Chain A
Amino acid sequence: MDQVFAVENTSLLRWIILFPLMGAILNGLILRSKNVKLSGLVATAASAIAFFICLSLVNSYGIFTEDFGQVLDPWFTWFSVGRIHVPFHLEYTPLTGVMLLVITGIGTLIHIFATGYMSEEKSPFRFFSYLNLFLAAMLVLVLSSNLVGVFLGWEGVGLCSYLLIGYWYEDNENTAAGMKAFVTNRIGDLGFFVALFLLAAYVGTFQISELVTIFAGESSPVEGGVILAVLACIFWASTGKSAQIPLYVWLPDAMAGPTPVSALIHAATMVTSGIFVSVRLWPLFASQPAVLDWILWVGMATAWLAALIALSQRDIKKVLAYSTVSQLGFMFVALGVGAPVAAFFHVVTHAFFKALLFLGAGSVIHGMHHDQDMFNMGGLRNKMPQTHATFLIGTLAIIGFPLTAGFFSKDMILAKAFEHGPLAWGLLLLAAVLTAFYMLRAYTLTFWGEARTEHAKHAHESSLWMAAPLMLLAAGALLVGFMETPPILFNVHGLEMAIKASWYGMSGEVVGHHGRHLSHATEWILLLVTSAASLSVAYFSYTKFRDQKSKLSASGFAVELSQNKFYVDEAYQIVFLRPLSWVAARTWKFIDVYIINGTLHVIRDGMRIGGQVLSFAHTGNLQTYAWYFAAAVAIALVFVNWVV
């Protein structure tokens, strides 16, 4: 690319990161206040200031714009050695702008919610400090202009996720879940490491703008195989962070953390990092269609597997967790069929409705005195009217009820899948139908029927602190879809414009991809089929669970499999963890203790016999030893200088 961009410098970008960082330090190290209002206020203010800075950025540099240069904050040089040059520069693109608004906007709402939710905590400062630290790391991930900086954020959010999952650390199960998240993510991160090594060795830059403009396409100065390997490695890392097969297993366990954490980190922001980074690097992906096929089928398999598991879960947060895994699978399918705009669109809409659903679940759990089993709920719609209404909106959005946010993004993914081929479309549609089933099951079991336990009978509505964010998120879940709509309905293409303007002038067309353009009639048919299928299954699910009185007694092989998550965790234990642990213990005992030290002790015992002859000198007295030493040195000096 010869095109030269207008580069604008600004030092505003760093403050988006610095405010949450300062909030984290203030709460965690300086104030350490046990007053939840104070800690919450500090953290919320830090987040809100970051949000307003993002707003002003979007205002001055534009977001839905075709004509975009480069906005850089050249902060400092992180490190630079030989062929490895890593500046710590931040960069704003319209794509980044959308993501920034989602992170800081939803982040601020969740901070407000958490101030109410965590009101009975012993050490709320710790929670809010981690939450702010998470925002800072997430913002580094999003803003960094190079992949090493992205990796700083990438592992940074992993750290915060670890700390927050294990926030209630006195319970061993929570810390185990935190550790599982960290280690599983590290398995993915090894892929990120390899991608960085490949870039250092063969490409010579980590800058996203240079990668996208110079190394995408046929004129790339390096072999296609290198770029393919880099992208495969980044995708592998994404299966960790964005919870895809085979590394998704940490995300359901991550629900051990407080619910606002599940909403912010494990639904709205962090877990979509893999998709965000892929969209940022899209022209590279588009130049390597082979990797897109892998992404498509891994995403599809994940969408299915997680949806099947979600069908039978009893814990309301577990249903939402598996639904997140499944929805992330939808996003990867979108990437795989060559539709980055659809993928990122679903990131944005999902952020709203899933954060809403999680906070709604949090409100329910709060009202139910921390009981999360849906079979113990029932009939909550009258006791928690605001939570019910907002949860319903979230549910409708996720199943794609016409004109909600999820409707537009899911329809776009399905249309793109149809362009790619009927098989991908058909399978994805079935996964969407499963979504409708398990979401209505969760909603109905929670809010309809009779109260099934004492807790459910005495459930109470949450305070305004918690209800207000729910309402704002519900508004988002209804409205954000209108930023990108199909040609047959309104024909708005704001997001597409923003994303395409973020590729430094590259088109992002997939190489060798001759997607059919759908006629309006086909689009209408697809839309109607999708909606009809989802809504009828949703209604069926509603009627099936509406009058649920006592506990479910569904059984059978399939249900058993689903309830036990297809025994994937157990399989990993048996296939990987236990053998590795066994080998570790044996290698240490056998090599270190038995062979090496054993040999040494044989030598020592041999020498001891000789040593006993000289043992009179071994007095154990420090002064005596010092004298020996001094005498020996003196003799040696004399010997060396005068005798030799």
Chain B
Amino acid sequence: MNLLGLFLIPFVSGVILFFFGKKWKTAQWANIVFHAFWGVAVYQCWANFDPSQMGEVYWSWDWFPMLNSKLALGLDGLSLPLVVLNYILSLLLAFYALGKEKLSPSYLALFSILNAASIGTLISLDAFAFYIFWEFMLIPMYFLIGKWGSKNRVYAALKFFAFTMAGSLLMLLAIIALSKTYGTLSWIELKNLNLPYDGLTGFHGLIFLGFLIAFAVKIPLWPLHTWLPDAHTEAPTGASVILAGVLLKLGVYGIARWCLSLFPLASSDVAIPMMTLASVGIVGGSFAAWKQVDIKRMIAYSSVAHLGFMVLGLFAFNVEALSGAMFQNLAHGLSTGALFLIFGIIYDRTHTRKIEDYGGLASKNGLLATAFVFSAMASIGLPGLPGFIGEFLILSGTFMSNKIFAFVGLSGILLGAVYMLGMLRKVVFGPMGPTVKSHEIVLEWNEWVAIVPLLVLMLVLGMSPQFLLSKVMFSMEWISALY
């Protein structure tokens, strides 16, 4: 497995892209070439993936002996799907970027660095290395929102930065405490130590909470979610897609990797409160999505609701719900990514996000409208598309462990239809709105190249999810066996 390449290729590409100066066209094509190299590494990892191990370290470097930290890289059922998703979304965004002068070499460079950081987060099996990459993601994202965002970008970027930073500081403290106490930060070694547990306010309980809060901010769990609508709304299209598709998922991933795996007793103790917050997030996020007048804000709030489902699945602790949560990670990444991408393409032409400015998109560009409706249907979990598999597995798993939360989750399925179809009615259907009437909405070939694979993938994952589920099953069983 070429794990080092998986991380280094986007990093090096990012550094090179900084030097393209004003040659934005060349940089955009170079970016695609870099993605081809990166793709080889991703393919190698996929093809050589061993589905019957959990947390195996394939490559390691003693980089911070003082902190007992090693750069230990591994790939298992928890991280594989997100690595692949990250690659696919980034590749499609590379195509989307073609011909857009605004997406300059430094934008592409920051984007590549962001990819390196998120991949690094996913494949690090050492707490400190994980933390470094985790923090590193903030920096390119801060600039992507703050420089390429829309009107309110500075406020949004700062809010994003402050929220996540505050969360991760607690995680840093927890990591230092672990390092000082046990002399190791390796995930597998910590796991084998069977860390003791002395209540949530005890030493280990606090360490656990330090991790948990950092992840809860990132997810974002209600009530820590208000940075997300601002960040999503102001971010440029590509950043919104990656934010929804990958970065939020890292919170879910983090909980599974560092909280559920290392602290099973503490996790059981917080299960009810976490599921309660998740449920509030599902209902509250759906309510908020229903009442938005800004399309991107609406999609962002729908993410809050969907991520609530995933947290619900994590804390049900059984293999059905866990697999559902991991699968929903992908499903949501594809469907919400597609919604942001398609709307971003429309926004590039119309420059308004207000729902009331739209209407009658179907009359203007039928195929694009079809793609939009398709993605919306995937988002509300229509059977045949991947959201259904995720939600169904999560909720039946939750039902097995706690019926009440499953019922609350079901209300999210209903509300999802209310806000999503309500938006479609006003944006895609109806008489043609003034904005739609006065703008040409014809897509370039590269924009179709960015959209179509997403739709195809959704169909494949929705009708034939087993090829992926079978790769991650071992890891899910491994975690659920702890409970």
List A residues at the B interface (Cβ < 8 Å).
28, 32, 76-84, 88, 123, 126, 148, 151-152, 154-156, 159, 162, 166, 169-172, 175-176, 179, 182-183, 186-187, 190, 193-194, 196-198, 200-201, 581, 583-585, 587-589, 591-592, 596-597, 600, 604, 622, 625, 629, 640-641, 644
Given contacts A183-B414, A200-B320, A592-B284, could you give 8 more A-B pairs where the C-beta distance is less than 8 Å? A78-B463, A82-B397, A155-B383, A171-B431, A182-B421, A193-B413, A585-B291, A588-B288
A310 to chain B, nearest CB (A): 29
Q: List 23 A-B contacts (CB under 8 A).
A: A77-B466, A78-B464, A81-B323, A82-B319, A82-B320, A82-B323, A84-B393, A123-B366, A126-B366, A155-B383, A156-B383, A159-B377, A162-B421, A166-B429, A172-B430, A179-B421, A183-B414, A193-B413, A194-B407, A200-B399, A584-B291, A625-B143, A641-B66
List B residues at the A interface (Cβ < 8 Å).
64-67, 106, 139, 143, 147, 159, 162, 223, 226, 284, 286-288, 290-291, 318-320, 323-324, 360, 362-363, 366, 370, 377, 382-384, 388-389, 392-393, 395-397, 399-400, 406-407, 410, 413-414, 417-418, 421-422, 425, 428-432, 463-466, 469, 473, 476, 480
Considering only CB atoms, which chain B residue lies closest to A32 in the complex? B366
Cα of A196 to Cα of B421 in the assembled complex, Å: 25
Do A196 and B106 touch across chains, with their CB atoms under 8 A apart?
Answer: no
Chain A residues whose CB sits within 8 angstroms of the CB of B284 once the complex forms:
587-588, 591-592
Do B362 and A169 touch across chains, with their CB atoms under 8 A apart?
Answer: yes
B429 to chain A, nearest CB (A): 4
Considering only CB atoms, which chain B residue lies closest to A162 in the complex? B421
A172 and B431 in contact, given A194-B410, A588-B284 (Cβ under 8 angstroms): yes
Cα of A216 to Cα of B178 in the assembled complex, Å: 56
Do B377 and A584 touch across chains, with their CB atoms under 8 A apart?
Answer: no
Do B396 and A84 touch across chains, with their CB atoms under 8 A apart?
Answer: yes
Considering only CB atoms, which chain B residue lies closest to A187 in the complex? B414
Do B143 and A640 touch across chains, with their CB atoms under 8 A apart?
Answer: no
Do B395 and A193 touch across chains, with their CB atoms under 8 A apart?
Answer: yes
Sort A-B residue pairs by CB-CB distance and give the 4 closest, nearest first.
A584-B287, A169-B429, A588-B288, A197-B399
Question: Which of A80, A194, A581 has a CB less than 8 Å from the CB of B466?
Answer: A80
A179 and B363 in contact, given A82-B319, A200-B400 (Cβ under 8 angstroms): no
Question: Which of A80, A88, A166, A183 has a CB less than 8 Å from the CB of B417?
Answer: A183
Cα of A123 to Cα of B287 in the assembled complex, Å: 36
Chain A residues whose CB sits within 8 angstroms of the CB of B65 once the complex forms:
641
Question: Which of A28, A583, A596 has a CB less than 8 Å from the CB of B226?
Answer: A596
Cα of A186 to Cα of B430 in the assembled complex, Å: 22
Question: Which of B360, B383, B418, B466 has a CB less than 8 Å from the CB of A151?
Answer: B383
A600 and B421 in contact, given A77-B466, A79-B466, A186-B414 (Cβ under 8 angstroms): no
A478 to chain B, nearest CB (A): 39
Main secondary structure of the interface of B (DSSP, over half): helix
Do B288 and A587 touch across chains, with their CB atoms under 8 A apart?
Answer: yes
Do A79 and B465 touch across chains, with their CB atoms under 8 A apart?
Answer: yes
Cα of A152 to Cα of B386 in the assembled complex, Å: 12
Do B366 and A622 touch across chains, with their CB atoms under 8 A apart?
Answer: no
Chain B residues whose CB sits within 8 angstroms of the CB of A597 once the complex forms:
226
Cα of A589 to Cα of B384 in the assembled complex, Å: 35
Do B159 and A600 touch across chains, with their CB atoms under 8 A apart?
Answer: yes
A53 to chain B, nearest CB (A): 21
Do A81 and B399 touch across chains, with their CB atoms under 8 A apart?
Answer: no
Considering only CB atoms, which chain A residue lies closest to B67 in the complex? A640
B423 to chain A, nearest CB (A): 11
Chain B residues whose CB sits within 8 angstroms of the CB of A171 once the complex forms:
431
Cα of A107 to Cα of B318 in the assembled complex, Å: 44
Question: Which of A166, A190, A587, A629 has a CB less than 8 Å from the CB of B287?
Answer: A587
Chain A residues whose CB sits within 8 angstroms of the CB of B223 once the complex forms:
591, 596
Do A196 and B396 touch across chains, with their CB atoms under 8 A apart?
Answer: yes
Do A79 and B396 touch across chains, with their CB atoms under 8 A apart?
Answer: no
Do B384 and A156 touch across chains, with their CB atoms under 8 A apart?
Answer: yes
A24 to chain B, nearest CB (A): 12
Do B66 and A81 touch across chains, with their CB atoms under 8 A apart?
Answer: no
Do A79 and B469 touch across chains, with their CB atoms under 8 A apart?
Answer: yes
Do B226 and A81 touch across chains, with their CB atoms under 8 A apart?
Answer: no
Chain A residues whose CB sits within 8 angstroms of the CB of B463 once the complex forms:
78, 88
Cα of A298 to Cα of B322 in the assembled complex, Å: 39
Cα of A197 to Cα of B391 in the assembled complex, Å: 12
A589 to chain B, nearest CB (A): 8
Considering only CB atoms, which chain A residue lies closest to B419 in the complex? A584
Do B469 and A182 touch across chains, with their CB atoms under 8 A apart?
Answer: no
Cα of A190 to Cα of B391 in the assembled complex, Å: 12
Considering only CB atoms, which chain A residue lies closest to B229 in the complex? A592
Do A81 and B382 touch across chains, with their CB atoms under 8 A apart?
Answer: no
Cα of A583 to Cα of B284 in the assembled complex, Å: 10
Considering only CB atoms, which chain A residue lies closest to B389 in the complex? A79
B449 to chain A, nearest CB (A): 16
Cα of A116 to Cα of B116 in the assembled complex, Å: 59
Chain A residues whose CB sits within 8 angstroms of the CB of B469 once the complex forms:
79-81
A197 and B396 in contact, given A78-B463, A588-B287, A600-B159 (Cβ under 8 angstroms): yes
Do B320 and A81 touch across chains, with their CB atoms under 8 A apart?
Answer: yes
Cα of A632 to Cα of B48 in the assembled complex, Å: 38
A175 and B425 in contact, given A183-B414, A622-B147 (Cβ under 8 angstroms): yes
Do A622 and B143 touch across chains, with their CB atoms under 8 A apart?
Answer: yes
Chain A residues whose CB sits within 8 angstroms of the CB of B422 once the complex forms:
179
Chain B residues whose CB sits within 8 angstroms of the CB of A183 once the complex forms:
414, 417-418, 421
Chain A residues whose CB sits within 8 angstroms of the CB of B366 once the complex forms:
32, 123, 126
